[in-house]
Structures are given as C-alpha cells and as structure tokens.
Amino acid sequence: MERLTTFEELRAYAGAAPRPLGLVPTMGAVHAGHMSLVERSSRECAATVATLFVNPAQFDDKGDFARYPRDAEGDLAALAAAGADAVFTPPEREVYPAGFATWVRMGGPALPLEGAARPGHFDGVATIVAKLLIGALPDAAYFGQKDGQQVAVVRRLVADLGLSVRVVAAPTVREADGLALSSRNGLLNAEQRRGAAALHRALQAGAAALGEGAGAAEAACRAVLAKEPQVSAVDYVALVDQATMAPWSGQGEAMLAAAVRVGSVRLIDNLLMSAD
C-alpha cells in the first residue's frame, strides 16, 4: 500500500492509477465499517485510495477534537488488510496551509439536525471532501449510511459543483445488538455500551409506527430512548426526506434520524424507509 502525504502526490497517484478509481475518506479510528467501504471499493474499482485525516474544521468542540481516538499505525494496517492500494495521510498544514481562506458554505440538507446541533460542522465536512474529490478526481467515493445526513450533503455538494463522481452510500455496519459501528463507541464504558444499543431499538420502534404517521414514528422512537437510563440526553429525533433533510412529506424516501448522548458520548444513527 502506497502512502501519500501531499496533494501533489495524491494527484500524481490518481493520474497514473488504473480506472475506475475509488476514494474512501476516513478520519481514522478505522473499524469494520470503514473496512467494508474499502472492500467494496476494491471489488468495484481497479484501484482504491483511502484517506486518514482527523479534520479539525468539522469539530465545533475543541475538547471533542482532542478526545477523538487516534491510532495511525493500527489504521494503516487495517486499511491495507481491507485492500486499499494507497492511503492519503496529509498533515494539517497540507490541508490548511498558512493563509487558508477558502471554505465551502453548505445550505440545504446541511442546515437541520447535525447542522443545527453543530454549527459549521458540514462546512468543514464539505471543504475537506471537496479538496479530496478535486485532488483525486475519483470515479466513485464511498461513505457509510450511518452518517446519512453527511451522505445527503456530499451528494448535494457533488451536484452543485458539477463533479463527475458517483457517491456510494453503503449500508450501516452494526454490532450483534444493533449498535452502529462508530469510532466513538470505544469511549463508552461497559454499562454505557449496553445502554447504547437502545438507539437502534428506538429507531426500529419508530419505523414500525410509520404507518400511523411521522409524529407517531418520532414519538415511538423517543419513548424507547426515554426508558433507557444510560441515555442522558436526546438531541433530536426527526423523520426527514433522505435527499433534502426537510421534514418528510409522506411521499418518497424517508430517513428516521436520532442523536443522543450516552454519558458524555454523542451517538447518531438512522434508518431508511418509505411509505410503500
């Protein structure tokens, strides 16, 4: 696996790589969910570039950025085992050099939910994703559906900037009890970890109540969360349109999304559904 640390090296690698080329952006703390994205890209593309960069611009809390788990050597080994042909690991000064002044400001699907709870978060996401897509010019970029709003934001970004890349959203990888794999799960103690499984159960309860309307689905989800003592706060529960993140109209594809705190650890998850 080739290691790239500058955008010049990334452009050179991508220019010489066989096509189609797949890109798998990550912030490290690589788990089986990330590895499944690399494995899928490796099946569908002739070459795969993964990225490892903990992006400070998408953290609204400096303490959260400092606590974010980091294991560079373990991450590199995991990405290589999953089949990545190259990995882009730029230092922060390469991504945001002195005098950096150009940001992608997202509207639309970036504004509610995570956008409201974490102002500026998706501007940071969109800026780094735009830089990676322009640098590598991949044919496909792979993201996990666990971050469903991020998928919608990236698709909007790609459409609005006229980028020629296919955005692939892969199904959420879960533990046996339904908890979505996340880099933050490792911050939970044993009791919190058991309680965190309530998030997926709550979403399932909401999905089961969808036939009674959006309000019933959201209420059913909240009811399950309210019964779990390890859930210290519910940031939001919302049934939204998959593409726009606007409240679901009752037509088309929907996403039931929730964000909770288990102790001090913030977890998000979602389920896709439709009225059919």
Per domain, the residue ranges of the chain are: 2-170, 183-271
- 259 CA to centre of own chain: 13
- Cα–Cα distance for residue pair 59/233, rounded to 1 Å: 20
What is each CA distance from 170 to 27, 35, 151, 152, 221, in whole angstroms?
Answer: 17, 11, 10, 13, 24
- Residue-wise pLDDT tens for the chain (276 aa)? 999 999 999 999 999 999 999 999 999 999 999 999 999 999 999 999 999 999 999 998 888 888 888 899 999 999 999 999 999 999 999 999 999 999 999 999 999 999 999 999 999 999 999 999 999 999 999 999 999 999 999 999 999 999 999 999 999 999 999 999 999 999 999 999 999 999 999 999 999 999 999 999 999 999 999 999 999 999 999 999 999 999 999 999 999 999 999 999 999 999 999 876
The pLDDT value given to residue 265: 96
The pLDDT value given to residue 65: 87
Rg (CA), the chain: 19
The pLDDT value given to residue 276: 66
Task: Count CB-CB contacts under 10 A for residue 25.
Answer: 24
81 Cβ neighbours under 8 A, 6+ residues apart = 35
Q: Establish how many alpha carbons lie within 13 A of residue 271's alpha carbon, considering only the half-sphere containing its beta carbon.
A: 21
The pLDDT value given to residue 68: 86
Task: Note whether 167 and 151 are within 8 A (CB).
Answer: yes
Please state the pTM of the whole predicted model: 0.96
| Catalytic residue flag (residue 31) | no
The pLDDT value given to residue 274: 85
201 Cβ neighbours under 8 A, 6+ residues apart = 178, 224
The pLDDT value given to residue 126: 99
DSSP state, residue 210: G
Q: Does the structural domain 183-271 have CATH classification 3.10.20.30?
A: no
CATH number, domain 2-170 = 3.40.50.620
